[in-house]
A and B are shown apart, each in its own frame.
Chain A
Amino acid sequence: DAGVIQSPRHEVTEMGQEVTLRCKPISGHDYLFWYRQTMMRGLELLIYFNNNVPIDDSGMPEDRFSAKMPNASFSTLKIQPSEPRDSAVYFCASSQRTDLYGYTFGSGTRLTVV
């Protein structure tokens, strides 16, 4: 299994531009999570899905952020318009039974907004 695959690994964009981050979870994993990591705030859960349905989006910072999961093998996190304070590493993770096995994380997307 290739694990959780995220793209791109690095993204540099100008303030005001739209940014789309992509994630392919492990096949058979019913849960998908989007996290943001910064030095100041540590790991923050943004949103998670179960069977492609958003369950909890209370961590999404504001309306500029949106996430979708059109099918079991693909999810996107979109920021429009982007701002410098969105600069962070964004992680996607998936799980089958978190309470027993935990998550598997992707390698992350390092986003820099200039």
Chain B
Amino acid sequence: GDSVTQMEGPVTLSEEAFLTINCTYTATGYPSLFWYVQYPGEGLQLLLKATKADDKGSNKGFEATYRKETTSFHLEKGSVQVSDSAVYFCALPRIQGAQKLVFGQGTRLTINP
């Protein structure tokens, strides 16, 4: 089945720094790709998604581009804030069209003021 590998954390940055969290996937076909964010004490929330190759998902200043050539979906933000401190998960359906997601192990991000 399909799988996803995320950059290991934790990642610590200063406020206003540029952020990249790497995510690469193995898939048959071109499944949708997702980034979820989990703030302390909360459930996971969908941050952004891309449903086909070359699509760019964006939300709250975060972006990720579905790159089939490199099988990647890296999460980026140009200027992070303390409030972005959270755990970020990359995910895709178990197999294309499946209703069950496979999650990466999560990357913990801490932003210092």
Chain A interface (Cβ < 8 Å from any Cβ of B): 4, 31, 33, 42-43, 45, 48, 50, 56, 91, 93, 95, 97-108
Contact = CB atoms under 8 A, between A and B. Distances in A.
Contacts of A95: 99
A105 B44 contact: yes
Contact of B44 (A50, A91, A101): A91
Nearest to B43: A105
B100 A48 contact: yes
Nearest to A106: B43
Contacts, number: 55
Interface stretch (B9-17, B68-76, B77-85, B89-97): B89-97
Interface of B: 31-32, 34, 36, 42-46, 49, 51, 89, 91, 93, 96-101, 103, 105-106
A30 B43 CA distance: 20
A42 B105 contact: yes
